[in-house]
Amino acid sequence: MPGMRSLWQLSGQILRKQKPSVVSDYSYFVNDLAKGRKPSPLRELMKMLATASSDIIFLAEGLPHGDTHPFNEARFSLKDGSHITLSGKTLTSALQYGPTEGYPQLLQRLREFQERFHNPPGLDDRDIIATVGAQDGLCKMIELCMDFGDPVVVPAPTYSGVLAMLRPYRPEFLSVKEDKYGMCPYKLRDELNRYWSISHNSMLKPPKFLYLNPTASNPSGTVMPIERKKEIYEVASDFNLLILEDDPYYFLHFDDKEPQSFLSIDTEGRVIRFDSFSKVFSSGLRLGFITGPRPLMQVVEYHMQASVLHTSSLSQVIALKLLDQLGWDGFIKYMENIREFYMKRRNFMSEVAKKHLQGKAEWTMPDGGMFLWIKVNGVPDVYDMVMKRGVHGKGVMFVPGHAFMPDPTLPCPYIRASYSLAPLEDMDQGFARLAELITEEKKLHLK
Ligand code: PMP
């Protein structure tokens, strides 16, 4: 009987010859635990209620009565002088349980959003679910795919929040180095070929997905150009991988126009996209959304039916009202302002880095996002320097690069500095302290 590996290689070769290979069997990506998830009867009724005629007599769900809510009105005054007021039926529904996939009017807006910004092929075959930030959507998607010991494809470095989801599975990390445009397609192909060429193990498991954070990557700040996305998509297609496109910084790039996403080129139904309002409206709203092929989104929904029930109705209604108030043109203008805000901070941090770290460290100018990814020269492992002597001795805090590496026990010379929040004068001070730290650290190693 042929082992899994040879079967899979064979199917890989067939896929390569018969491109384009539209994904037809999503159950292949779903683990046994997730296959065991069934629709919750009560949650399915809730879904029916959302679309039922207004004269239906509803004696089904245990929804608390709106008259018991202590709130009469919620009023948000916006920085542009306008207001959002929630009252009456709108406030009642914002304070009530809702359908698991999301507040219906918001979902409609989000569908328009995807059409407007990504216009993916076959949007009608994709579902959108409002999630508790991008983080929860990612977590649910990863939990749906992973089995213990599975291989996973990630960029190096990788967003630490995703490593935290993956580590408990003790996966084999197939990590692919980034250059200034993000993950390199040829390195990705090499790594997958290397994995499949391991001849001593005939029971190799296929990696099911590739995780990417293509715009203003956390921590490296790279923005992946569309040409590269197309190449990576081709590799994913050759190796039958889903692409988890985690894109919360999509509007925080420092280019003239929005990047073209993986979702927008997904002719084969292998992209699951994670958007978030955290970086643009408010991270405390805990609101994001996941867009993907219907069969996979159904499993995510069943998971949510059993876990959070749904994302906060209040957060969803606030976001909906804000989107309605802005309109799409206003939304784009709003994003431009946010971009400009962070770009000024990026420029400032880059100046103070030049002022203090010249010769002591290397970095590339981030093309978006909130972070400067710095390689310290002459200090092969920065952990103690950052966590002990930095925090306790110098009173300055950075993230040691280990947090973004699949194997955090290996020495790492990188640190992540964030320009999103600190007052500008603190940035200057912070980098002056970092420069001293590096000088002292090198002396320590010379002793
Ligand atoms: N992905 C990346 C790359 C992030 O940086 C973050 C936030 N730090 C998230 C996902 C989670 O975002 P959210 O607040 O939408 O859950």
Residue 442's CATH number: 3.90.1150.10
CA of 218 to the centre of ligand 1 (A): 9
Q: Look at ligand 1, atom 9, and give the residue with the nearest C-alpha.
A: 135
Q: How far is CA 193 from CA 17, 18, 132, 198, 207, in A?
A: 17, 19, 36, 9, 12
The Cβ of residue 332 has, within 10 Å, a number of other Cβ atoms equal to: 15
Q: What is the pLDDT of residues 77-111, one digit of tens each?
A: 999 999 999 999 999 999 999 999 999 999 999 99
- Asked whether residue 97 is domain-assigned, the answer is yes
- Asked whether residue 6 is domain-assigned, the answer is no
Q: Look at ligand 1, atom 8, and give the residue with the nearest C-alpha.
A: 161
Of 222, 279, 133, 226, residue with least CA distance to 404: 222
Q: Into how many domains does the chain fold?
A: 2
Is pLDDT at 34 greater than 90 in this prediction?
A: yes
The mean per-residue pLDDT over the stretch 65-77 comes to: 95
306 lies in the same domain as 169: yes
Q: What is the pLDDT of residues 5-26, one digit of tens each?
A: 334 444 443 344 345 589 989 9
397 lies in the same domain as 305: no
Enumerate the β-bridge partners of residue 54: none
Domain boundary, last residue among 263, 295, 328: 328
Q: Which residues line ligand 1 (CB under 6 A)?
A: 133-135, 159, 161, 213, 218, 246, 248, 276, 278, 283, 288
106 lies in the same domain as 255: yes
Q: What is the pLDDT of residues 220-273, one digit of tens each?
A: 999 999 999 999 999 999 999 999 999 999 999 998 788 999 999 999 999 999
138 lies in the same domain as 195: yes
CA of 19 to the centre of ligand 1 (A): 33
197 lies in the same domain as 293: yes
211 lies in the same domain as 157: yes
- Asked whether residue 23 is domain-assigned, the answer is no
- Asked whether residue 47 is domain-assigned, the answer is no
CA of 164 to the centre of ligand 1 (A): 12
169 lies in the same domain as 118: yes
Task: Provide the domain limits for residue 188.
Answer: 29-42+74-328
